[in-house]
Structure 1
């Protein structure tokens, strides 16, 4: 267990997660104007396993100035959280008491994508995609909880752990999300070559049946330095509204809703990413690169959900992150 001061992002500095992943892809041209792609993917963590497959096909038209594409992907995921998957909106118990939890669970995800890529000039390419995703099964985050608060003061209702046991000193309930989710997205990207300097600008609109609408703007400029080097600044802005069942807290004594989550990722939020990538290509065609990005996330809780003392505290502290990535690509 760990403690976080009021108004701070609850981060456990002892947390460490390790993920192993393997992806295999195959691309094969056929019938002159067609190309087929296929792939398999596997990843695992100590409480999660993912197995997926994908298949896609493209067809060129108009002297290869127009390309139509379609793809389908399917994945099955096994969720095995520490102590088991919590029952929906069950009370958090003392450490070692798993009466509010069940065993493992699964999730299935089907993704579809159709798109068109069009050359619209000697230096400009436009791409437009439509995507559809259907998820079913266990979609709840097993580690997320909601505070049960006094309906007047807004403070978390107190709780006393059993004698000799460690446990929460407040009343908390595990979250509950629907067991299905359908998402749709529309994506458009324009790339333009300014005599060797390539600018890529994209916009994506997403919507789902949980009530979340999102907008993403992204811009990258690849700037060559000599024959073998380049830099690539990156700017991204993301915004979304809250899910229909987002609840900052639950009121003590009220009837429980069918679904509720206080996960900040389902709230009203904005995110800005600013980054820079440096790459070096070798004579043999290999490339190594390094990328550093700064990410800042902010959000808000609807005023109607704040009760008593909650309105006088910082309820959605900003999140800042630094992302560092080093990569190497080579040809066999």
Structure 2
């Protein structure tokens, strides 16, 4: 799932981070308190009218390395995510944006948190009918952006809230953008904080009230290393620097460095681990856990990357992207992608796309039943294994800057559709399709 959604992040301590937020929001306050002079009275608005975006994505995957069952079993999952984004101009300089969405999924692998609540024999290769087989993730984000009179400085602040059956998250952050060199050069700094709280869902056989007389094995089932996590919080602090430059009328480039520090419960409590030096116990065909995933309570990540866009002619553009990623768990990765937007007409564009990804395994990864009980940290989550992947796809877009087509009071400005097929070297494959509609409010 690291492929489905990637994010950027440089680590600083809380005191420095607080100073950045004070600086950012003091700029916003100063900008709002300025008196409107004769020049700003006639300046062009940052956003002429309210914009409404409706986005929808459909994602489905399958494979046989489910982390819930210790690195084996079905990874079948389906997810539908509708999202609304509304940008509202408050005046000539300020824009309020509201972003709200839900993600409704069904997952055969997560249903096996409790694989024994079905009338069928328990197996990691089939789903159960438990409550964890499906869930809804809800998210809301509110941001406020202020632009200076000359449009060379933009200050933004935001707050977000997200909730799912096993965690709750609140986040806040801000950014500052400065344009100079006749707006040919742009420098942005972003900072974010996410404060998460888990509601751990442990494998059913590790819970105190578990009782089953159908256990098969030599001796007595006793997961001696297991104990519940005492710290159920996870905090993430990030800062990002982005530098963009127009090099010529046809060539644009940007580079970024993003760093993040995470602390707290970074393990996933419902993901099983099995030890090769301990006896095996089963109910039906399902292997009972020796313990759950245990990972360090700190993690530092650092992606560094660049984008290069070249306008070959009025029809064809070449968009390229590269990212190198490092973290202190031993994962190093490279990502490269290319898109080739081709304008069929003034309103229609098609573009093929390709993305390649490769990573090393985390220091704490081992496959199913390969860990030793003497280890301190362990996981059999194949997202932390060594693999490479390819994603092939295409996109199609329609753009009408005049928004001549209408639905009620909404003028249709653009439609964008994308499809991608994802194939990973360890057997996981996925399809993702997304569509977005942008409307202008009359």
Fold conserved between structures, TM > 0.5: yes
Give the C-alpha shift of residue 149 in structure 1. 2.4
- Number of residues paired by the alignment? 295
List alignment gaps of at least 5 residues for structure 1: 151-155, 300-317
Give the C-alpha shift of residue 132 in structure 1. 0.7
SS state at 2:136 partner: coil
SS state at 1:149 partner: coil
Q: Which has the higher helix share?
A: 2
The 1:296–1:24 alpha-carbon spacing in structure 2 relative to 1, beyond 3 Å, is: same
Would the aligned equivalents of 1:80 and 1:104 in 2 still touch at CA under 8 Å?
Answer: no
Would the aligned equivalents of 2:234 and 2:262 in 1 still touch at CA under 8 Å?
Answer: yes
Would the aligned equivalents of 2:206 and 2:289 in 1 still touch at CA under 8 Å?
Answer: no
CA distance in 2, matches of 1:322, 1:28: 39
Give the C-alpha shift of residue 21 in structure 1. 1.6
* Structure 2 match to 1:186: 304
State how 1:42-61 maps to structure 2 within 5 Å: 42-61=161-180
Q: Does 1:325 align with 2:438?
A: no
State how 1:195-214 maps to structure 2 within 5 Å: 195-196=313-314, 197-214=316-333
Would the aligned equivalents of 2:341 and 2:352 in 1 still touch at CA under 8 Å?
Answer: yes
2:416 to 283, 289, 301: 289
* Structure 2 match to 1:246: 365
CA distance in 2, matches of 1:101, 1:168: 22
Would the aligned equivalents of 2:330 and 2:363 in 1 still touch at CA under 8 Å?
Answer: yes
Give the TM-score normalised by structure 1. Answer: 0.80
Give the C-alpha shift of residue 195 in structure 1. 2.1
Q: Does 1:219 align with 2:346?
A: no
Give the C-alpha shift of residue 57 in structure 1. 0.8
Would the aligned equivalents of 2:245 and 2:253 in 1 still touch at CA under 8 Å?
Answer: yes
State how 1:63-74 maps to structure 2 within 5 Å: 63-74=182-193
Give the C-alpha shift of residue 52 in structure 1. 1.1
Taking only aligned residues, the RMSD between alpha carbons, in angstroms, comes to 2.9
* Structure 2 match to 1:259: 377
The 1:174–1:167 alpha-carbon spacing in structure 2 relative to 1, beyond 3 Å, is: farther
CA distance in 1, matches of 2:72, 2:142: 44
CA distance in 1, matches of 2:348, 2:140: 29
Would the aligned equivalents of 1:95 and 1:167 in 2 still touch at CA under 8 Å?
Answer: no
Give the C-alpha shift of residue 38 in structure 1. 2.0
SS state at 2:364 partner: coil
* Structure 1 match to 2:206: 93
2:279 to 146, 157, 164: 157
State how 1:267-282 maps to structure 2 within 5 Å: 267-282=385-400
Give the C-alpha shift of residue 326 in structure 1. 2.0
State how 1:68-83 maps to structure 2 within 5 Å: 68-83=187-202
CA distance in 2, matches of 1:217, 1:48: 32
1:16-41 Cα offsets, whole Å, 9 max, x none, are 23222222233221162211122222
Comparing 131-140 with 171-180, greater Cα deviation is found at: 171-180
Q: Does 1:231 align with 2:340?
A: no
